[in-house]
Amino acid sequence: MNQVVSNLVLDEEPIVKIEGVTKSFGSVYAVDDINLQIYRGEFFSLLGGSGCGKTTLLRMLAGFEAPTQGRIYIDGKDITDVPPYRRPINMMFQSYALFPHMTVEDNIAFGLKQEGMPAEGIKERVDEMLELVQVTQFKQRKPHQLSGGQRQRVALARALAKHPRILLLDEPLGALDKKLREKTQFELVNIQQSLGITFIVVTHDQEEAMTMSNRVALMRDGRIEQIDTPRMIYEFPRSRYAASFFGSINLFSGTVTDQLDDAVNVYSEEAGAALQVTHSHPLAIGTDVTIAVRPEKLRLIPEVIDGPNMLQGVIAEIAYLGDMSTYHIDLPTGKRIQFTQSNSQPLAEQPFDWGQMVTLTWQPHAATVLTE
């Protein structure tokens, strides 16, 4: 499972180690035997639909829920039984949870006062935080006098004020509108990198997770489906669920016909063709597999040539999205596939039309074999 993680050193001790953690409520398993390691300085996302257990896992890290089974380690120390007010972790809440009866300044200073920091130190740190998230001019206001975006920044400043080793963020961008969300995504990553703090984010938005994270853990029904960098999980998903979770994908079910050195040949009735995919593990002939190809990995060629991965079909739908277009193509077998291409040609030279017959292909290493 060791993947290359861009600017991290993976041979260090993980800063967070989750070992066999389960949380059950009666017969319902919100979190089911999770094992996870997160490394210092990572921007790590827990991604999944509602009910997948990501929020429960986050709350167990913060200390608001106790695991039914398993242990949690921070920097090697077992903190499973440590109450939230004694953990070196701070959290930014989904609802921001700003104290309504305190000013912005007092909100940010709260954690520092609990630590027993002397007054001048507090003032310095608070000013530093106000600057960091750019809310200095609002420091005397109360939360109800701020806009949603401003409240979010105060919540972030408050959570960072104590310079925690780990910051947990529960759906941090959920309440923001699209433009603000994009801007804030970059700000968050910048802040995280400049402070060197480990961020663990819970989100249901896959674009968000992919944009900001070093690694993403996709969760489903209390378990981890796949952990990988955004690129790997997108290009090489390891299950149908993971494949369909991120963007669109073409899935062909088929059977292994032969095993080559670094690839497998698969015959797919759905596709009505022989397919070849790069694959490192051996697979027995006759195994049922699914081949996954992303729509943007398909290439248009003028006519069929000899070899695997040749599909011919008729354009049934065109979805024009401005910067790119998605084409739905019906194969003779009845299967519909998706093909995406950027609209780099000016309008006058529009390449395709409905009903047009096209030939598509892809490189063997542009697809993945899924066995589940």
If binding is defined by CB under 8 A, does position 333 make contact with other proteins?
no
**304 lines the binding site for other proteins (CB under 8 A):** no
Q: Among residues 99 and 320, whose Cβ is nearest to other proteins?
A: 99
Task: Give residues with Cβ within 8 angstroms of 10, minimum separation 6.
Answer: 2, 39
CB atoms within 10 A of CB 83: 10
* Interaction of residue 83 with other proteins, rule CB under 8 A: yes
- For residue 174, the number of C-alpha atoms closer than 13 Å in the C-beta half-sphere is 13
Which listed residue (3, 35, 134, 147) binds other proteins by CB under 8 A?
147
CA angle 79, 82, 87 (to 5 degrees): 75
Smallest gap from Cβ 319 to other proteins, in A, equals 38
- Outline where the chain has alpha helix (H): 54-62, 104-115, 119-133, 148-160, 178-195, 206-212, 230-235, 240-245
Which two three-digit tokens encode residue 369? 């074999």
What is the spatial distance between Cα 329 and Cα 337, in angstroms, rounded to a whole number? 5
Q: Scanning residues 102 to 131, which ones bind other proteins (CB under 8 A)?
A: 110-111, 114-115
Sequence-distant (≥ 6) Cβ neighbours of residue 124 within 8 angstroms: none
Q: Shortest Cβ distance from residue 159 to other proteins (Å)?
A: 8
**203 lies in the site for other proteins, by CB under 8 A:** no
Residue 94 touching other proteins (CB under 8 A): yes
β-bridge mates for residue 274, sequence order: 267
**Residues 12 to 71: which contact other proteins by CB under 8 A?**
62-66
* 143-149 contacts at long range (C-beta below 8 A, 24 or more positions apart): 143/96, 143/98, 143/99, 143/100, 143/104, 143/107, 144/100, 146/104, 148/175, 148/176, 149/176, 149/180, 149/184
Q: Which stretch binds other proteins (CB under 8 A): 141-149, 176-184, 197-205, 296-304?
A: 141-149
Pattern 153-172, binding to other proteins, x per CB under 8 A?
-----xx--x----------
Q: Between 109 and 298, name the residue whose CB sits nearer to other proteins.
A: 109
How far, in Å, are 31, 142, 163, 205 from residue 59 at the CA level? 11, 27, 19, 19
CB 80 within 8 A of CB 71: yes
Number of residues counted as binding other proteins (CB under 8 A): 34
Distance of CA 17 to the CA centre of its chain: 19
**Strand 263-268 vs strand 357-361: parallel, antiparallel, or unpaired?**
unpaired
Identified binder of other proteins from the candidate list 71, 123, 139, 142, rule CB under 8 A:
142
Candidate list 8, 29, 75, 93; residue touching other proteins; CB under 8 A: 93
| Minimum separation from the CB atom of position 195 to other proteins (A) | 17
Of the candidate spans 68-76, 99-107, 126-134, 315-323, the one that interacts with other proteins by CB under 8 A turns out to be 99-107
Which position among 18, 34, 72, 91 is part of the footprint of other proteins (CB under 8 A)?
A: 91
Backbone φ, ψ for residue 262 (5° rounding) = -130, 20
* 146 scored as a contact of other proteins (CB under 8 A): yes
Residue 90 as a binder of other proteins (CB under 8 A): the answer is yes
Contact 203, 245 (CB under 8 A): no
Name which of 64 and 320 has its Cβ closer to other proteins. 64
Between vectors from CA 127 to CA 126 and to CA 132, what angle results, nearest 5°?
Answer: 95
Based on the shown chain and the rule CB under 8 A, indicate whether residue 349 belongs to the binding site for other proteins: no
- Compose the 219-248 pattern: x for residues touching other proteins by CB under 8 A, - for all others: ------------------------------
Nearest distance from residue 96's CB to other proteins, in Å?
8
Query: Looking at 5, 8, 97, 180, which residue binds other proteins (CB under 8 A)?
Result: 97
Residues near other proteins, by CB under 8 A: 62-66, 81-86, 89-91, 93-95, 97, 99-101, 110-111, 114-115, 141-142, 144-147, 158-159, 162
